[in-house]
């Protein structure tokens, strides 16, 4: 569905955002940071400041964790029966859908993503995640194992893990907060969310909607602020029972260190450098479209971006030319204009980082066959870029760029062992894409590629029922599906001597 934001609605939203700094949401109240500090929020399509948000720090995290603890231990949430909890979640999903245009506009202004993509996230990702997970309420239960001990009746209880801290990235702001809140609430836990400092707007609106539909005070708390202050305090906090972190692999490692103080549970959704394998028997036109969307969608700022292309030499030139044609034809510009396919990168720093990666690739001997340049205008725009003559030892092939940059590698034979070892030659293991009509090759590669997901003849798709996460340095645990909710439960064994 094409979404058009009216000039009036845009002007109203800008005025509201500029009117006063956004506040923290703690224990059902909207409050300033204890320090009184705020930070600037910029529109990456213009580089201009569009809002200010409260800069929460350790003291604010303390207050939010205490509220989440009260709501879990003594508030109405812990004792609420499944139908009531489910009904509240379904009301929240309906509220998200009813506010999809506004939420989409906030993510578009904040992150730069095209408003259509943001709208898709609001309806198909955020609201659906909440509905799907609401359906699990009351369905995760214990067992009555048969044991070898004589005269024992035993059973297990599944209990919510408690207070959860969620530290989130900026690349899909609303989808991130909604999917985390969905599983946490389904399990009966409470949550303190620390959105990315680059994109706090939709998280604040999300919290308001949760309040409006009647989610009890303290169940959802949102503390905006920086990673080294608010994020670090949340990861270290001894009152937090579990941290769910989504972000870069290097920050993920510091989260693990910070969480060690009380050995809180940790799940991590981290970076990727996902391979795309195109076999000569594939539907090449479909593969070109899929590979192109897989690296250029959201300006390549998605953790599952297919950033390493391995195409068989019989089809390599055709594939690269096809993707280059698409790259050249993509309209890059403000996400507010529905005619644009791709928005800006998130920040000036990110644009400079992507530019430096392209420079390093060229210095190492790569050839630019599409794009390669910053687009000279206000905002942080970058051309969709393809590099060929790339080698496995180059930084552009080894490191996550998190931008619209594809490294294309020619595979000289159809030896699956060589393909598998090229695909697995990475410290990441998030996703992989295989294009072939040969069932045997498809299933063999699906088994042998070391990644949390493998998509055959398809692109990046998100479904709340499909477990999502990474192997190796792409993370710990799986969000989504039954496994996603299991992350928020503990198992207790009870045995009774008869
Ligand atoms: P980031 O690691 O810089 O920041 C993520 C979050 O962590 C932010 O909220 C930030 O404030 C916070 N943070 C930073 N330093 C911290 C610290 N020392 N202690 C606690 N919190 C801290 O990542 P980013 O740049 O926001 O996001 C991009 C990265 O996220 C990419 O690597 C991408 O692949 C990854 N990502 C992964 C997934 C996934 O599901 N696997 C999804 C989206 C993004």
Which CATH number do you get for residue 113?
Answer: 3.40.605.10
Sign of the CA dihedral 175, 180, 186, 191? Answer: negative
Determine, yes or no, domain membership for 2: no
How many domains in the chain?
A: 2
Determine, yes or no, domain membership for 72: yes
Identify whether residues 191 and 315 lie together within a single domain. no
Per-residue pLDDT of the chain (498 residues; tens, 9 = 90+): 678 899 999 999 999 999 999 999 999 999 999 999 999 999 999 999 999 999 999 999 999 999 999 999 998 998 999 999 999 999 999 999 999 999 999 999 999 999 999 999 999 999 999 999 999 999 999 999 999 999 999 999 999 999 999 999 999 999 999 999 999 999 999 999 999 999 999 999 999 999 999 999 999 999 999 999 999 999 999 999 999 999 999 999 999 999 999 999 999 999 999 999 999 999 999 999 999 999 999 999 999 999 999 999 999 999 999 999 999 999 999 999 999 999 999 999 999 999 999 999 999 999 999 999 999 999 999 999 999 999 999 999 999 999 999 999 999 876 899 999 999 999 999 999 999 999 999 999 999 999 999 999 998 778 999 999 999 999 999 999 999 999 999 999 999 999
Structural domain range at position 417 = 274-463
Integer CA distances (angstroms), 279 to 311, 326, 338, 442, in order: 6, 20, 34, 10
173 Cβ closer than 6 Å to some ligand 1 atom:
no
Question: Which one of 248, 255, 405 would you pick to mutate in the ligand 1 pocket, going by the greatest count of ligand atoms within 8 A of its CB?
Answer: 248
Sign of the CA dihedral 88, 89, 91, 92? Answer: positive
Identify whether residues 408 and 260 lie together within a single domain. no
Strand partners, 222: 25, 193
Tokens 């390549």 belong to 300
Residue nearest atom 40 of ligand 1, based on CA coordinates: 269
Expressed in angstroms and rounded, the spacing between residue 27 Cα and the centre of ligand 1 is: 25
Determine, yes or no, domain membership for 232: yes
What 3-state DSSP class applies to 211?
Answer: helix
Identify whether residues 234 and 374 lie together within a single domain. no
Pairing of strands 24-26, 475-476: unpaired
Identify whether residues 372 and 311 lie together within a single domain. yes
pLDDT of residue 376: 95
Contact 409, 420 (CB under 8 A): no
475 Cβ closer than 6 Å to some ligand 1 atom:
yes
Identify whether residues 176 and 301 lie together within a single domain. no
Determine, yes or no, domain membership for 310: yes
DSSP state of 22: B
Expressed in angstroms and rounded, the spacing between residue 169 Cα and the centre of ligand 1 is: 5
Identify whether residues 106 and 255 lie together within a single domain. yes
Rounded Cα gap, residues 20 and 16, in angstroms:
8
Residue environment code for 481-494, b if the CB has 16+ CB neighbours within 10 A, otherwise e: beebbbbbbeeeee
pLDDT of residue 4: 85
Atom of ligand 1 nearest to the CA of 475: 41
Residue nearest atom 36 of ligand 1, based on CA coordinates: 247
290 Cβ closer than 6 Å to some ligand 1 atom:
no
Expressed in angstroms and rounded, the spacing between residue 495 Cα and the centre of ligand 1 is: 42
Q: What is the Rg, in whole angstroms, of the alpha carbon atoms belonging to the chain?
A: 23
Identify whether residues 175 and 305 lie together within a single domain. no
Identify whether residues 283 and 402 lie together within a single domain. yes
Strand partners, 24: 31
Expressed in angstroms and rounded, the spacing between residue 15 Cα and the centre of ligand 1 is: 30
> What region, left, alpha or beta, does residue 479 occupy, with left being phi > 0 and alpha being psi -120 to 50 degrees?
beta
Non-local (6+) Cβ contacts of 132 within 8 A are 182, 464, 465
Identify whether residues 250 and 180 lie together within a single domain. yes
Determine, yes or no, domain membership for 296: yes
Strand partners, 473: none
Determine, yes or no, domain membership for 27: yes
Expressed in angstroms and rounded, the spacing between residue 235 Cα and the centre of ligand 1 is: 13
> What region, left, alpha or beta, does residue 256 occupy, with left being phi > 0 and alpha being psi -120 to 50 degrees?
alpha
Identify whether residues 381 and 439 lie together within a single domain. yes
Determine, yes or no, domain membership for 47: yes
pLDDT of residue 86: 98
Identify whether residues 119 and 242 lie together within a single domain. yes
Residue environment code for 422-433, b if the CB has 16+ CB neighbours within 10 A, otherwise e: bbbebebbbbbb
Catalytic sites, residue numbers: 269, 303
pLDDT of residue 1: 63
**132, two tokens:** 């799907």
Whichever domain contains 389, its CATH number is 3.40.309.10
Determine, yes or no, domain membership for 471: no
pLDDT of residue 460: 74
Residue nearest atom 19 of ligand 1, based on CA coordinates: 232
pTM reported for the whole predicted model: 0.98
Identify whether residues 210 and 284 lie together within a single domain. no
Nearest to 410 by CA among 287, 320, 295, 293: 320
304 Cβ closer than 6 Å to some ligand 1 atom:
no
Rounded Cα gap, residues 349 and 82, in angstroms:
46
Question: Which one of 165, 200, 227 would you pick to mutate in the ligand 1 pocket, going by the greatest count of ligand atoms within 8 A of its CB?
Answer: 227
């Amino acid at each position: 569905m094409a979404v058009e934001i009216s000039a009036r609605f845009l002007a109203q939203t800008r005025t509201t955002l500029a009117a006063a700094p956004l506040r923290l949401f703690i224990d059902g109240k909207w409050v300033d940071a204890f320090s009184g500090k705020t930070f600037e929020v910029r529109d990456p399509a213009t580089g201009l400041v569009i809002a200010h948000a409260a800069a929460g720090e350790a003291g604010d995290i303390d207050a939010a964790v205490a509220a989440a603890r009260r709501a879990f231990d003594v508030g109405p949430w812990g004792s609420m029966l499944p139908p009531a909890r489910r009904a509240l979640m379904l009301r929240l999903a309906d509220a998200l859908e009813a506010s999809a245009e506004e939420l989409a506009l906030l993510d578009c202004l904040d992150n730069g993503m095209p408003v259509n993509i943001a709208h898709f996230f609001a309806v198909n990702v955020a609201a659906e995640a909440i509905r799907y997970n609401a359906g699990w309420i009351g369905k995760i239960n214990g067992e009555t194992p048969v044991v070898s001990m004589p005269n024992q009746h035993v059973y297990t209880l599944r209990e919510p893990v408690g207070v959860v801290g969620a530290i989130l990235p900026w690349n899909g702001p609303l989808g991130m907060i909604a999917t985390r809140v969905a599983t946490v609430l389904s399990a009966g836990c409470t949550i303190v969310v620390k959105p990315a400092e680059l994109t706090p707007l939709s998280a604040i609106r999300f919290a308001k909607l949760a309040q409006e539909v009647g989610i009890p005070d303290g169940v959802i708390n949102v503390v905006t602020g920086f990673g080294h202050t608010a994020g670090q305090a949340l990861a270290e906090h001894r009152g937090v029972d579990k941290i769910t972190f989504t972000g870069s692999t290097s920050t993920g490692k510091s989260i693990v260190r910070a969480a060690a103080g009380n050995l809180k549970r940790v799940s991590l959704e981290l970076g990727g450098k996902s391979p795309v394998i195109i076999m000569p028997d594939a539907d090449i036109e479909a593969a070109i479209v899929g590979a192109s969307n897989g690296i250029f969608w959201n300006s390549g700022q998605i953790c599952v971006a297919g950033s390493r292309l391995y195409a068989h030499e019989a089809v390599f030139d055709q594939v690269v030319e096809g993707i280059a044609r698409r790259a050249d034809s993509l309209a890059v510009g403000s996400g507010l204009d529905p005619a644009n396919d791709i928005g800006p990168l998130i920040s000036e720093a990110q644009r400079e980082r992507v530019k430096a990666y392209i420079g390093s690739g060229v210095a190492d001997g790569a050839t630019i066959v599409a794009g390669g340049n910053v687009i000279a205008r206000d905002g942080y725009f970058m051309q969709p870029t393809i590099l060929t003559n790339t080698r496995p030892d180059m930084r552009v092939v080894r490191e996550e760029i998190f931008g619209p940059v594809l490294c294309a590698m020619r595979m000289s034979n159809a030896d699956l062992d060589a393909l598998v070892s090229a695909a697995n030659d990475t410290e990441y293991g998030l996703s992989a894409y295989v294009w072939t009509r040969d069932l045997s090759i498809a299933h063999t590669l699906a088994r042998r590629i070391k990644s949390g997901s493998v998509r055959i003849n398809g692109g990046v798709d998100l479904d709340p029922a499909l477990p999502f996460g990474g192997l190796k340095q792409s993370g710990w645990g799986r969000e989504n599906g039954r496994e996603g909710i299991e992350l928020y439960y503990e198992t207790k064994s009870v045995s009774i001597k008869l």
